[in-house]
């Protein structure tokens, strides 16, 4: 019986380590995306009609929001939904 319980504990530790790695990867990717978003927003300040940069901005926000939703980081639900982006383009 002790062996079986130890096996479960090992599985839980393994799962936690996997989760830690996934969260670390998410954080690295998010910092990269936030850097890109920062550069794009500066570019948009200089040239607000640049549709390509505007699209990049929305894709970056969508990527962060989508990945955080997949990982159940619900606090980022405050980011606009894709359907609301059309209002921003007007």
The whole-number average pLDDT for the span 45-60 is 93
Residue 88 has pLDDT above 50, yes or no: yes
| pLDDT at site 14 | 46
**Residue that is written with structure tokens 């936030």 in the block:** 34
Distance CA 9, CA 5 (A): 6
CATH value at residue 54: 1.20.120
| pLDDT at site 79 | 61
CA–centroid distance for 33 within its chain: 8
Domain span at residue 59 reads: 2-89
Domain count across the chain: 1
The whole-number average pLDDT for the span 13-36 is 82
Distance CA 37, CA 81 (A): 17
H/E stretch holding 34 reads: helix 2-46
Of 80 and 58, the structure prediction assigns the larger pLDDT to 58
Distance CA 6, CA 17 (A): 16
pTM of whole model > 0.85?
no
Distance CA 40, CA 56 (A): 7
The whole-number average pLDDT for the span 74-88 is 61
């Amino acid at each position: 019986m002790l062996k079986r319980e130890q096996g479960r504990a090992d599985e839980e530790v393994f799962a936690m380590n996997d989760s830690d790695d996934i969260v670390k990867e998410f954080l690295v990717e998010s910092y990269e995306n936030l850097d890109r978003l920062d550069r794009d927003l500066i570019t948009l300040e200089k040239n607000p009609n640049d549709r390509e940069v505007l699209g990049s901005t929305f894709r970056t926000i969508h990527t962060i929001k989508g990945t955080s939703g997949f990982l159940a980081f619900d606090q980022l639900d405050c980011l606009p939904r894709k359907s609301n982006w059309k209002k921003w383009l007007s």
